[in-house]
Amino acid sequence: MNNVCNQTCTGCGKEFSKGLWRQNPIFVQVLGMCPTLAVTTKALFGFSMGMATAFVLICSSLAVSVIRKLVPQQVRIATFTVIIATFVTCADYFLQANFYTISKELGPYVPLIVVNCIILGRQEAFASKNGVFRSLLDAIGMSVGFTAVLILLGSIRELLGFGTIFNFKILGAGFEHWVIMALPAGAFITLGFLIGLFNWMNKKSKSN
Amino acid sequence: MEENFYISPGPHIFTKSKTPKMMKDVIIALIPAIFAAAYFFKLKAIILILVCTVSCVVFEALIQALLKRKVTILDLSAVVTGILLAMIMPPSLPIWTTVLGSLIAIGLTKQLFGGLGSNIFNPALLGRAFLMAAFPTYLTRWNAPFTLEAVTGATPLGMVKFGHNMNINFGGLFTGNVSGSLGETSALALLIGGAYLLIKKTIDWRVPLAYIGTVMVISFVTNLVAPGTYAGALFHVLAGGLLIGAIFMATDPVTSPVTKAGRWVFGIGCGLITMVIRLWGGLPEGVMYSILLMNAITPLLNRLTRPRRYGT
């Protein structure tokens, strides 16, 4: 019955860890660029977006892997999208009800989680082909990898653009704010440097 | 092996011209403008030029050593980038921002893209564009010549655009006695340098001619249509960074097209974008962004204007 999981649970740790580094959704797959570039002006917004995306990704991966054998091949994308949209609406209403200021700052990017390629990509590439437990691990791994990069990107931009991290003052009054870091150009430059650093570290570890 | 790669369409004529010689010519051509900057903005100008040049050379050596490349600071290209970067900075700029600008110019624009010859954008201009985006207040604060920090004065372009002051001091524009970036104010000094480069055949005459010609035509026509709103052709050629841009930046052999037709298109495109920004854009000056935008399509221009093989 439940042989998909029992058979290969030796590789289950890998399903979780691959999203952190080896198949990191931002650094390696370069997916979900819209929220990555748009909402990372501050670390807190990156964290909130990461959490909202994680909720949607984990819930939809669970739902899709449960019903994967019932969904006809021809309408699978539409089915996945409806499932994702349901959870996005939940996340959106939750943020509006409990964290109104953050919801306002994130603006249209919360509803836009529906079209985040990471989520649909995981359903299509993983959850629709694997069991519930492995899909859950995969979704959690991808979510953690995604959120970690958003926080890193947000922290660097917030530090240079506002002199703070998570709204704590790090750099004193003498620090001149880099306006560019609060602008989209700063997101592109920082992400470029981070991906370059990531590839350089990979190359380094491979050659050793 | 590397000697065997040609970047321009044939015929390939071999001369003794090498990078250091070319860079030396550019530095010699910049000397009048350096003197003009030192004369009008005094110690501030000299410090800025020195800091920019030294930091560019140091960053070049440091990054090349870090990336385990051959250290090529002796080809003088970093010196040229440093001087040009200083020349397009406002005199009152804090010193540490120029060091950051040098790092962006050399590190990001040049070395991370593969070093001299592989950069897409003009290093000095991208360094300035970064500072412009990062510290807009510093980059738009001008002081009048012969004053240190105390007196701020709008640039001639700013006065005409935002102050609607059509009382233009052409003598000041020509000699450089107006506020502006270090090296862009003195048209006379830049023209002397440009003439030297043209005589030495270090730069191609097509890009500056197409660039300045386009600016003249557009400003002449708009001035005819609405003389109260738009200044004339002479003003638009002498004011702002047009001359330093057309002579020293748009002619950069790495980031401008290699074909003759491509150079014409490049110059005309630069002129068009400059005038659109100057006349209808939000900024008073558009030389920097026009050259950077045209840099971006240079590979495309090279492709589109590739000469056809004879007989095909």
Cβ–Cβ < 8 Å for B127, B85: yes
Q: What mean pLDDT do residues B135-158 have?
A: 77
Q: Say yes or no for a CB contact (<8 Å) between B133 and A176.
A: no
What is residue B27's predicted lDDT score, i.e. its pLDDT?
94
**End-to-end Cα separation, chain A, in angstroms:** 44
Q: Is the pLDDT score of B13 beyond 70?
A: no
Q: What is the mean pLDDT of chain B?
A: 88
Mutate to test the interface with B, among A179, A193, A203 (most CBs of B within 10 A): A179
Q: Is residue B295 part of a domain?
A: yes
What is residue B152's predicted lDDT score, i.e. its pLDDT?
66
Q: Is residue B5 part of a domain?
A: no
What is residue B11's predicted lDDT score, i.e. its pLDDT?
60
d(CA A56, CA B169): 64
Cβ–Cβ < 8 Å for A68, A75: no
Judging contacts by C-beta atoms under 8 Å, the chain B residues touching residue A176 are 94, 97, 135
Q: What are the tens digits of pLDDT across the range B46-73?
A: 999 999 999 999 999 999 999 888 888 8
Alpha helices for chain A (secondary structure H): 3-7, 12-17, 33-38, 43-67, 76-98, 100-106, 117-122, 132-162, 184-207
Least confident of B154-168, B207-221, B260-274: B154-168
Q: Is the pLDDT score of B193 beyond 90?
A: yes
**Contact status of B248 with chain A (Cβ, < 8 Å):** no
Q: What are phi and psi for residue A175, nearest 5 degrees?
A: -75, 130
Q: Distance from A52 to chain B by nearest Cα, in Å?
A: 31
Shortest CB distance from B133 goes to which of A176, A179, A196?
Answer: A179
What's the total number of domains in chain A? 1
Alpha helices for B67-145 (secondary structure H): 77-87, 95-103, 123-134, 136-139
Q: How far is CA B27 from CA B17, B59, B156, B172, in A?
A: 15, 19, 27, 25
Look-up: residue for tokens 């020509």?
B174
**Contact status of B112 with chain A (Cβ, < 8 Å):** yes
Q: Distance from B301 to chain A by nearest Cα, in Å?
A: 25
Question: Residues B169, B264: one domain?
Answer: yes
**Contact status of A197 with chain B (Cβ, < 8 Å):** no
Q: What mean pLDDT do residues B200-224 have?
A: 93
Question: Residues B191, B242: one domain?
Answer: yes
Q: Is residue A145 part of a domain?
A: yes
**Contact status of B289 with chain A (Cβ, < 8 Å):** no
Q: Is residue A109 part of a domain?
A: yes
Q: What is the ipTM of this complex?
A: 0.81
d(CA A128, CA A138): 12
pLDDT band for position A1 (cuts 50, 70, 90): very low
Q: Is residue B77 part of a domain?
A: yes
Look-up: residue for tokens 């704590």?
A168
**How many separate helices (H) and strands (E) can be counted in chain B?**
14, 0
d(CA B204, CA B256): 10
- Output B198 or B42, whichever has higher pLDDT: B198
| Last residue of one domain, picked from the residues B86, B105, B134 | B134
What is residue B290's predicted lDDT score, i.e. its pLDDT?
96
Question: Residues B160, B129: one domain?
Answer: no
Q: Say yes or no for a CB contact (<8 Å) between B130 and A181.
A: no
Question: Residues B229, B171: one domain?
Answer: yes
Q: Which amino acid is at B184?
A: E
Cβ–Cβ < 8 Å for B134, B94: no
Shortest CB distance from B133 goes to which of A176, A185, A196?
Answer: A185
Question: Residues B102, B222: one domain?
Answer: no
CA B208 to chain centre: 11
User: Cβ neighbours of residue B275 under 8 Å, at least 6 residues apart?
Assistant: B214, B215, B218, B219, B222, B236, B286
CA closest to A196 among chain B residues: B112
Q: Is residue A86 part of a domain?
A: yes
Q: Is residue B91 part of a domain?
A: yes
Q: Following CA atoms B21, B26, B32, B37 in sequence, which dihedral angle do they give, to the nearest 10 degrees? A: -130
| Last residue of one domain, picked from the residues B99, B134, B169 | B134
Q: Identify the bridge partners of residue A168 per DSSP, sorted by sequence position.
A: A165
Using the Cα atoms of residue B23, residue B27, residue B33 and residue B37 in order, give the sign of their dihedral. positive
Question: Does the bond joining A184 to the residue before it have cis omega, within 30 degrees of 0?
Answer: no
Q: Of all helices (H) and strands (E), which one includes residue A168?
A: strand A168-169
Mutate to test the interface with A, among B135, B137, B140 (most CBs of A within 10 A): B135
Domain that holds residue B237: 154-304
Q: What are the tens digits of pLDDT across the range B73-118?
A: 888 999 999 999 999 999 888 999 999 999 999 999 999 988 888 8
Q: Is residue A182 part of a domain?
A: yes
Q: Is residue A187 part of a domain?
A: yes
**Contact status of B20 with chain A (Cβ, < 8 Å):** no
Q: What percent of chain B has pLDDT over 70?
A: 92
What are the structure tokens assigned to B101, written together?
Answer: 């600008």
Shortest CB distance from A180 goes to which of B108, B112, B133?
Answer: B133
Q: Say yes or no for a CB contact (<8 Å) between B130 and A176.
A: no
User: Cβ neighbours of residue A131 under 8 Å, at least 6 residues apart?
Assistant: A2, A4, A5, A65
Q: Is residue A10 part of a domain?
A: no
Q: What are the tens digits of pLDDT across the range B26-45?
A: 999 999 999 999 998 888 89
CA closest to B100 among chain A residues: A178
Domain that holds residue A150: 26-207
Q: Is residue A17 part of a domain?
A: no
Cβ–Cβ < 8 Å for B99, B55: yes
d(CA A20, CA A117): 17
CA closest to A161 among chain B residues: B134
Cβ–Cβ < 8 Å for B135, B201: no
What's the total number of domains in chain B? 2
Q: Say yes or no for a CB contact (<8 Å) between A179 and B130.
A: no
Question: Residues B105, B58: one domain?
Answer: yes
Q: What mean pLDDT do residues B296-305 have?
A: 92
**Contact status of A64 with chain B (Cβ, < 8 Å):** no
**Contact status of A194 with chain B (Cβ, < 8 Å):** no
Look-up: residue for tokens 């023209």?
B191
Q: Is residue A13 part of a domain?
A: no
Question: Residues B162, B130: one domain?
Answer: no
Q: Is the pLDDT score of A2 beyond 50?
A: no
Question: How would you class A194 by CB atoms within 10 Å of its CB: exposed for 0-12, middle for 13-18, buried for 19 or more?
Answer: middle
Judging contacts by C-beta atoms under 8 Å, the chain B residues touching residue A179 are 133-136
Question: Residues B115, B188: one domain?
Answer: no
**Contact status of B67 with chain A (Cβ, < 8 Å):** no
